[in-house]
Amino acid sequence: MMAMTKPARDCASHGCDRCEVRGNAICADLACEDRAALSRIGRRVHLQAGQTVMWEGDSSTLVANVIEGTLKLSTSTGDGREQIVGVVYASDFIGRPFGARTPHSVTALTDARLCLYPRAAFDNFAREHSRLEHRLLQRTLNDLDRTRAWMLLLGRKNAREKVATFLLDMARRLPADGNGVIDLPLSRQQIADVLGLTIETVSRQMTDLKRRGVIALEGRRGVCVRDARRLENMAEGS
């Protein structure tokens, strides 16, 4: 069961003005009273790591802002295997507005918090608020750009370039601790699946980056980027 709190009557009481992702979320351009109206059709939910909030192929009944945590987007191959097709972070938007079916499953990789909305009510709200529709269009175009970049990564980059690109993306999107260490939400096997590599290749590339002093490895999933410029050069094949 997903825990939730009751929606409040205004921005301040609901916490919208104190929301960690307010400046980057889908509702960022809305006036306070409009954010309050949007909050009244939704609810806050808490997910535990491993919990699925949307299922591939189901009717598109929910959309959500990610407030905290990391989630994976996945689809099933013909033989039943899972393929991770994307990762979303705090301030990202998930679900398919104005769509009939959910194209992929959405599962929490870490504990997460969402603002969850019934899709039909969200669609009606978006039609009446052009700023929100504009933000949705921006998100769609950004997702298209990321998809094209990912096609380049999978189709043209070698193993070192793929791993370097992946680590840069993680470092840019995930919070680091006081020592600059980020906790990767994906296992080595999941990283391999995302990048189209074997787990042995991923481990070998990570070890080589550590040996070169580009990154440091902390525990099972901790990574600290020691030389960001060098990692960027590696991601571009330099």
Looking at residue 218, which CATH number applies to its domain?
Answer: 1.10.10.10
Query: If pLDDT is split at 50, 70 and 90, which confidence band does 15 have?
Result: low
Q: Is the pLDDT of residue 207 over 90?
A: yes
Query: If pLDDT is split at 50, 70 and 90, which confidence band does 4 have?
Result: very low
For the residues 69-94, what does the mean pLDDT come to? 87
CB 95 within 8 A of CB 62: yes
Instruction: Dump pLDDT digits (tens) for 88-144.
Output: 999 899 998 888 889 899 999 999 999 999 999 999 999 999 989 888 888 888 888
Q: Is the pLDDT of residue 17 over 80?
A: no
**Domain co-membership, 144 together with 222:** no
Average pLDDT of the chain to the nearest whole number? 87
N- to C-terminal Cα separation, the chain: 49
**Domain co-membership, 176 together with 75:** no
Q: Which of 153, 186, 209 is the last residue in one of the domains?
A: 153
**Domain co-membership, 141 together with 165:** no
Q: Which of 128, 153, 178 is the last residue in one of the domains?
A: 153
Please tell me the predicted confidence (pLDDT) of residue 125. Answer: 93
Alpha helices in 108-181 (DSSP H): 119-128, 130-156, 159-173
**Domain co-membership, 148 together with 58:** yes
d(CA 174, CA 230): 20
Q: What is the CA radius of gyration of the chain?
A: 19
Q: Is the pLDDT of residue 1 over 70?
A: no
d(CA 49, CA 182): 17
Structural domain range at position 215: 158-235
**Domain co-membership, 164 together with 145:** no
Q: How many domains are there within the chain?
A: 2
**Domain co-membership, 120 together with 231:** no
Q: Which of 65, 68, 63, 75 is nearest to 48 (CA)?
A: 68
Of the two residues 22 and 209, the one the predictor is more confident about is 209
Q: Which of 180, 177, 202 is nearest to 189 (CA)?
A: 202
Instruction: Dump pLDDT digits (tens) for 139-195.
Output: 888 888 877 777 777 777 899 999 999 999 889 888 899 999 999 999 999 899 888
Query: If pLDDT is split at 50, 70 and 90, which confidence band does 3 have?
Result: very low
**Domain co-membership, 126 together with 24:** yes
**Domain co-membership, 99 together with 207:** no
Query: If pLDDT is split at 50, 70 and 90, which confidence band does 14 have?
Result: low
**Domain co-membership, 108 together with 214:** no
Reported in sequence order, the residue ranges of the chain that DSSP labels E, i.e. its strands, are 3-5, 43-47, 52-54, 62-68, 71-76, 82-88, 93-95, 105-108, 112-118, 181-183, 215-218, 222-225
- Percent over 90 (pLDDT), the chain: 52
Tell me which DSSP letter residue 17 carries.
Answer: G
Q: Which of 97, 123, 153 is the last residue in one of the domains?
A: 153
